[in-house]
Amino acid sequence: MTNPLATQIADLKLSNPTMLAAGVLGYTGLSMKRVIESGAGAVVTKSMGIEPRTGYGNPTVVQTDCGLLNAMGLPNPGISHFEEEMKELNKLNAPTIFSIYGFSPEDFAEVAKIAVEIGAAAVELNVSCPHVKKAGAQVGSDPSLLMEIVKQVKSQIEKPVIVKLTPNVTDITEIAKAAQKAGADAICAINTVKAMAIDPETCKPILANKYGGLSGTAIKPIGLRCVYDIYNAVDIPIIGCGGISNWQDAVEYLLAGACALQIGTAIAFQDITVFKSVTDGITNYLEHKGFNNLKDIIGLAHKT
């Protein structure tokens, strides 16, 4: 019997559309193993670069009424140190996607090459972190620089290249089109929304970095709008990300045009059982509405 929840991103086959989003529980092989065992169709690591990076000082996270605000500063041990963590993950039947960042197209290409050498099933280019200078959104808002990054990465690896976009631009579809033109295999939309919090007691911004990225339920309507618009602009697969915390959110993203879904902040507010509750909810929805499989609903909101 065919699996109604099976989905595909380029040649990456997933048993269900849920994926662990970059930045949450993606530091160690064991934590990602737990996420896969709890039902995720794939996992994405914390963003990694060539060199180890300490990141910003504390506070790095603020809880808001409807999400989390974070500015970690891309802390990571350096891509090569992740080889050890892959030992746990290589044994499992779900792809590990490496989120990578760089400060130049050459950086991205080098990190991507190492990622694939140590076992990445695909790479996700973090060209969307809203607050690290000369990386993230600063490179991902410039279509020609983004194209150069994608081209250089594509020239180094044969695995799928996913480009994670920032919503902090005037027209996200222009950036998505540039990524596709340069050879990207898929788009992930969206990374966090640039935001801040101020403490009335100290009269100062709370995050050490002042600015951070907002994630969680507050940004779901923004992510949904971005996926809907990108679906009309490109013909490569789209991974929806931003505020997915239950099956209804997931179905909305599928109807908007996403073929897979990343979940991150909901893990902090619920726990890793969210992957199973979302996939169970999608299955029940398909049955209840008389759809055969996921493909029947991907992008359906465009046809009504």
Q: Which sequence positions are flagged as catalytic? A: 129
Piece of the chain touching ligand SIN by CB under 6 A; list 8-16, 67-75, 233-241, 272-280: 67-75
62 binds ligand SIN (CB under 6 A): no
129 binds ligand SIN (CB under 6 A): yes
Number of C-alpha atoms within 13 angstroms, CB side, residue 75?
11
The smaller minimum CB distance to ligand SIN, of residues 9 and 132, is found at: 132
Structure tokens at 193: 């929304």
Among 191, 217, 245, 262, binds ligand SIN (CB under 6 A): 191
Number of C-alpha atoms within 13 angstroms, CB side, residue 63?
3
Helix (H, G, I), strand (E, B) or coil at 149: helix
Return the residue matching tokens 């779901």.
Answer: 220
H helix count then E strand count, the chain: 10, 16
Check: CB of residue 255 under 8 Å from CB of residue 247.
no
Give least dist CB 294 to ligand SIN, A: 27
127 binds ligand SIN (CB under 6 A): no
Burial class of residue 2, CB neighbours in 10 A (0-12, 13-18, 19+): exposed
Burial class of residue 231, CB neighbours in 10 A (0-12, 13-18, 19+): buried
Task: Tally Cβ neighbours within 10 Å of residue 303.
Answer: 6
Among 24, 72, 187, 266, binds ligand SIN (CB under 6 A): 72
213 binds ligand SIN (CB under 6 A): yes
Size of the site for ligand SIN (CB under 6 A): 13
The smaller minimum CB distance to ligand SIN, of residues 100 and 298, is found at: 100
23 binds ligand SIN (CB under 6 A): yes
192 binds ligand SIN (CB under 6 A): yes
The smaller minimum CB distance to ligand SIN, of residues 110 and 124, is found at: 124
Residues in touch with ligand SIN (CB under 6 A):
23, 47, 70-74, 126, 129, 136, 191-192, 213
